[in-house]
Amino acid sequence: MKQVDGFTKDAMMLMKYTYDTLFRYHGSGKLFTDIRSTSQMKNISHGKVYVYDKVFKPNSSQEEVYMGAAYHIVQDVLSGYNGTVFAYGQTSSGKTHTMEGVFGDSEKQGIIPRIVQDIFNHIYNMDVDLEFHIKVSYFEIYNEKIRDLLDVTKMNLAIHEDKNRVPYKKVVMVNDGNSATRARSNVVTTDMNEHSSRSHSVFLIQVKQENTATQKKLTGKLYLVDLAGSEKVSKTGAEGAVLEEAKNINKSLSALGNVIAALAEGTVSIQFYSLFLPRKVRRMDQLIFQKSHVPYRDSKLTRILQESLGGNSRTTVVICCSPASSNEAETKSTLMFGQRAKTIKNVVVVNEELTAEEWKRRYEREKDKGRRRETSPLIAQLCAHVDKNDTVARLKQQLMAAEMELNRWRKGEKVPESEWVNLLEGAVLNVQLPPGSESMSNI
């Protein structure tokens, strides 16, 4: 499925946890049917409907998940766009299985090895005039500290606030494999998962390409994120150091949820500004619809994913849910997280690095424009004066038409919809203004 205009794209991965739970799919809504026995069935049809871009059944293969949720990002990254894929859900819901899978197994390998392989396959089949440079970083966020999984000697890395907000970059051979680095990540046993990951892992691929013929350079970054499990601390049975880990995990995931909520709220904008409301009400409307602050700095995780959330990136969110009735609260929270994330709009642009010759050509073009404006100042002033007068006249006519319509409503007349004044699109009726009508009365 192709992602359009930078809209955040969700995918939902339903992993089978118990044998006695049956899933039925009807359109974009989900009907959960809990089978207690062969003769008794409980239909939960009154629940809330959640809409996503794609829903994968419990028996979906790794290849189906990859093709439906992440494959399209390969071409985006090679075209100079930034991309992100991250898995969200509670412990033992299938996040690591979805993102990593079993390395070296063609059927069970997850999104990360498949996407790396496809990037190289695309590069080998592209124009011979293109030269590629690939940089890879693999790090984890553990107890709010960043640790390099490719070099264990580098601990507690800092996040440098450069223009790209990249925490750390390291050149390595991708073919070295990720199994060794996975062994270095923090994994413990809890009541929820025998091999529970206690950290957020981030696999970063930076692809830089240069056309040797035209000197054009494009750079694409791809974040592949496996988040730690989100669940209540009481359900994990954690104690001591593991309990502190769980608290830090919930803190960072809570910060991520706050960022998602702030971005979802910030997508609401003023669609109409009524001229007929009192000035006091106008000011109140402006305050209500102001974009809220996005707390990116509340955690290391949200700072790293800042460009992926509401920034310059095409983002896919894979939400992993457990169908077990005992995890109902966590599943509902995960579904709501995905629903909010779907409303976020990212603005994506191509990361193009201009050459010195291209900068020079643009400079010469701007210089020529300035020279032409200087040689004909009278014409420029005349055009500006004409445009200004036309705008003023059009606005006067529009306001007069609006006032006349308002007076008709005040007199109790029912104005036909075809005669309504459309202020949003700037379209007005052919209203003959009374002679000498140069100003409007206060509304």
Binding-site residues sit at 89-96
Q: Are the C-beta atoms of residues 167 and 304 closer than 8 Å to each other?
A: yes
What sign results for the dihedral spanned by CA atoms 50, 269, 254, 313? positive
Question: How many Cβ atoms are within 10 Å of 210's Cβ, its own excluded?
Answer: 18
Inter-residue contact 53 to 65 (CB < 8 Å)? no
Where do the DSSP E strands lie in 27-101? Answer: 29-35, 41-44, 55-56, 83-89
Q: Is 220 helix (H, G, I), strand (E, B) or coil?
A: strand
Q: What are the residue ranges of helices labelled H in 79-185? A: 95-99, 111-124, 179-184
Q: Cα–Cα distance between 220 and 349 in angstroms, integer?
A: 10
**Distance (Å, rounded) from C-alpha 63 to C-alpha 75?**
17
**Phi then psi dihedrals of residue 419, to 5 deg:** -105, 5
How many angstroms separate the CA atoms of 386 and 391, rounded? 9
Strand ranges for 81-199 from DSSP E: 83-89, 130-142, 145-148, 187-188, 196-197
CA 253 remoteness from chain centre: 16
> What's the CA angle centered on 248, arms 199 and 95, to 5 degrees?
35
Question: What is the distance between the terminal CA atoms of the chain, rounded to a whole angstrom?
Answer: 51
Rounded Cα distance between 297 and 262, Å, is 13
Going by the annotation, the residues of the binding site for ATP are 89-96
Structure tokens of 203? 């696999």
